[in-house]
Structure 1
């Protein structure tokens, strides 16, 4: 296949391969994300041991799954293999949707006065639900605000991490396509894109007879 003249050459320093408002190359940004998600997972495990047994069990179960996902991400980023990025991208998209559902369910439970807020405050926020009503109401109000902020900020951070890893995926894809294109171009120029095939056996005999 001959090279086309209008093909844009690959430039790894192109601005589209930058993140953090153009201040960091996407390769470094992807490595930062891969390290951060693993560090945050470790912090989450430590944090869970200061909460109820329900939170500890849930955290341990989710961590066992996350280790595979984030470990695959870490390997894929460092070895620059696109295939190992897909589990993280798929997992994070689902996680963002779940966070949105939890946020809406939490807001609805506040509106209808369900016990979900109290249960979350006791298990996650370590709020003493047996305290006086005035103190309990104040603690629940603080927990509610912090929990909503946590979901919103956490969702935005997750979305940005997904964008960084997806951009890194596109960077690797463009680089691979550029390598294949350059190889085709080199092969075409070295051997000729329209090389004449050798004559068939009858034609070769006819040429020998004439000569």
Structure 2
């Protein structure tokens, strides 16, 4: 039998939103219950839980096909999560003729959770409170890091940061070399010497003519 959940109830809440829900009587699951849940479900279920949403194909990817009609005449479309395979999104569509064109619109949707072939279920046992995506991520991380000391993790993180910095510096382009100070200082002296050198005067007019006459 499929369990039904509303889309809004499966969305990820911020830390502030989680606190507000607690203040209004919304109970979160305990760490022990979350750890037990993480131990018994598949990696695909944990991926959807930690992500905080399911992965449903788009219309372009899956096409659009209707599998039923409800009592109000709405067309029913079902999509299965491509990750956990346990969540089914049930969409209700209606069609209308507008200005000579038939338009379709999704008017409602909800989630149904089914039992897997191996008996696995997505939802946690009732009465244990609500499990948030943050709680699931914390539990998965704690199990992955079990047995490692905080001091050792900090040391490894500092070492990784130093190696990353060293690698970045080794691949960075070297700075351009400054211009030679000798050549820069020589330029004003050369310019000053060129200014002092007298310009060569052109010969006066008629000089060549007088010399030619005297030679004759």
Range into which the TM-score falls when normalised by the shorter chain: under 0.3
TM-score (norm 1): 0.25
**Structure number with larger C-alpha Rg:** 2
| Structure whose residues are more often helix by fraction | 1
